[in-house]
Every structure is written in C-alpha cells, then in structure tokens.
Amino acid sequence: MNKISTLTFSILITSASLIAQTQFPNASFENLGNASPGVASEPTSWYSNKSGSNLATAGGQTCFQDATTAHSGSHSMRLETISYIGTAINGSATTGVINAVSFNKTTGYIGTINYSIASDDRRLACTDRPDSIVGWYKYTPGDATEQAKVRAILHTGDYNDPETPVSSNHPDLSANKIGDALFVSNAGVTVGTWTRFSAAFSYTSTATPAYIMVNMTSSYNQATTVTGSKMWIDDIALIYNNNAGINTNTAKTNNVHVYYADKNLNVDFVNRTEEHSSLSIFDLTGKMISFQKLENNRFNTVNLSGLNAGLYLYLISGTASQKAGKFIVE
C-alpha cells in the first residue's frame, strides 16, 4: 500500500471518529429520489408527507429539490406550505416519518415509526453528543405569524415529535430523549439571502444516544391555516466541540496548532524541525480533495479559496506531529 492510499485509509478511520460524530446523509440535498413509489421528488434520505403514513400521502407535495437557488453546489431543499382541498399542508422534511392519524391537524406528528406500517422504522444512528446543529436557510413567510423551524432530537429507542400525545395518537416516548436542539426563525421575517443558523443542543440525560431525528418545516405552528410559507435549506451539519484523531498521543497532537480563517488553513508547528509533514483535506464522503507537504520549520498557510461552502476534515501526519479535525467554509 503506497503512502497516499495509507493516508486515505487512515482518514476514513478518522472520518468515522469525526463523523460518527455523525453527519447527515445528503446534507446538501444534491441527490434526488427515494425508493418508495411516488416520492421521486424527495431528496435522498429525507422524507416528506409523500412517504408518510396513509393519510399523510393524500396531501399535495410540499418538499422539493430546488435547482434555482443553493448555498453551495447546484441544489437546495425547498419546503412549502400549500393549500390542498382547502386545508393548509405544512411543508416538512424529516429523517423519520410524517404521520397523519386523522384529518385533524393537531393529531399529526413526526415519529420514527410509520403509523400505518409498524415495520417501517426510520432511525438515523448517532452515538455521539454534538454541540450544535448548523445550516443555511432562506425564508418567505405566508404572513406575519409564520416561522421556519429546524429541530434535532437525540434519543434511544423510538421517538415522536411533538412528544405529548393528542387523542391517543401515539405513545409518550419522551423518556427516550437524550437532548435536542431547536432553531425557530423570527415571526413574519423574510430572509432573502442565504443565512447561517445555529442551534445548540440541550441535554436532559448523561446517557449515550442511539439515534438522531431531524425535523424541518416551513410552518412552525403545526395547526396553521396559513399557506404560502417557503423555506429553503442547505448544507446542514453537526458541530462537535472535541476533536478525535487516529493517534491518541497527546504530545503529538499538541505539537501542531491548526485554525481556519479568511479562506486559509493555517498550520503552525510548536517544535520547529527540518522534517516534513503532510496535510490531507477530505469532504464528508471521505473523498480526498487536497494533499500537500508541509514544512515543520515554519508557519504554513494553505489557501483554500477554491473550496465550496461546507464542512471539511483535515489530517496532518508526520513523525513528530499528528492531528485530525474539521473546519467550516462559509
């Protein structure tokens, strides 16, 4: 195995440590089409009412891959609250299942289990404790009361959102919650340019989570009768406040300082020597997009102006210094 392929193998292990510090599949919504019939419009790995329980599928389409605007790449996801046979259908997307128990909107909920098909259990594995969820959004409210919402819930077992049952629509699984993060936009405020949002996780348990459920909607009020609200979202990610690496030698990790600023990744070696180290940069699929030598006897500045906005991983590898981490290009 040559040096490059060894590094690639190592970074995939590192990526498992940093991203199992989980990251979301298809986080930029570039891939389109889930396997279920009738949901070709859904971004892959994200689900709308069209792949929900029986009654949910009866509503009109509210989730779209949008090629007209994107924070990075070629697409974003658009959620739109529409009118369907005189009823406002909230624009929603989730890693779980949108369940409509009855025609009463207050009994609707998002859960990990399909209300109509118990064997349909959609749970995204996450066994780490992220610091926050971030992403980029645009928003057009239907009126002065409408708000966009993103909620991420870390849990064990199965889960339902909202947690409190209404007319026995689902069991109370709130005991399974480990923590959650909530972003809600300002009521009635149009966000016409791509704007970064961030929501910190609040933990209610010291236990290790097993799964994460992410729910997004163009109408924060579940029972809204307002139509026309539109939310665009792109490049969502989980942020962690710790850096895992392939080498647990603290001395080697502390021998190099790394920080990203002004489109540059700056690398400074504490112990200046004549040896060389290497810098590899990977996207979230594990694809190496940059590799170069670093000189340990000086401050290194690596220009990354060619990178699209998003979350990236880096690996610095040398005899005296090894460090792995992540940085966000905005």
Given this model, what pLDDT does residue 1 score? 34
Q: Of the candidates 293, 247, 292, which has an alpha carbon nearest to the alpha carbon of residue 10?
A: 247
Which tens digits make up the pLDDT trace of 23-61?
Answer: 888 888 988 876 555 566 789 899 999 999 989 998 889
Based on C-alpha coordinates, what's the Rg of the chain?
22
| Rounded CA separation 278/34 (Å) | 39
Q: How many CB atoms lie within 10 A of CB 35?
A: 8
Q: What's the confidence (pLDDT) of residue 65?
A: 92
Predicted pLDDT of residue 252: 62
Question: Which pLDDT score, from 0 to 100, does residue 21 have?
Answer: 63
Sign of the C-alpha dihedral computed for residues 281, 45, 228 and 223 taken in this order: negative
Q: Is 45 helix (H, G, I), strand (E, B) or coil?
A: coil
C-alpha triplet 105, 42, 310: angle, nearest 5°: 110
Q: How much is the mean pLDDT over the chain?
A: 85
pLDDT at 253: 65
What pLDDT, on the 0 to 100 scale, is given for residue 239? 81
Tell me the per-residue pLDDT of 139-163, one tens digit each, with 9 for 90 and over: 999 999 999 999 999 999 999 999 9
CB 279 within 8 A of CB 271: no
pLDDT tens for each residue of 159-168: 999 999 999 9
Q: Region 128-145: what's the mean pLDDT?
A: 94
User: Distance between CA 147 and CA 303 in Å, rounded?
Assistant: 38
Least confident of 3-17, 77-91, 201-215, 224-238: 3-17
Return the percentage of the chain with pLDDT > 90, whole number. 52
Instruction: State residue 251's pLDDT score.
Output: 60
Residue where the block lists tokens 């049952």? 165
Return d(Cα 257, Cα 114) in angstroms, integer.
Answer: 48
Is 193 in contact with 138 (CB distance < 8 Å)? Answer: yes
pLDDT at 247: 34
**Structural domains of the chain, ranges and CATH numbers in brackets:** 3-16+242-329 (2.60.40.3080), 24-239 (2.60.120.890)
Q: What angle do CA 220, 225, 231 make, to 5 degrees?
A: 40
pLDDT higher than threshold 60 for residue 248: no
Task: Kindly report, residue by residue over 176-187, the tens digit of the pLDDT.
Answer: 999 999 999 999
**Predicted local distance difference test score (pLDDT) of residue 258:** 87
pLDDT digits (tens, 9 = 90+) for 58-115: 888 999 999 999 987 789 999 999 999 889 999 999 999 999 999 899 999 999 999 9
Cβ within 8 Å of residue 285, ≥6 positions away:
none
Query: How far apart are the C-alpha atoms of 130 and 14, rounded to whole Å?
Result: 17
Q: Is the pLDDT of residue 17 over 90?
A: no
Asked if residue 242 has pLDDT above 80, the reply is: no
pLDDT for residue 35 = 56
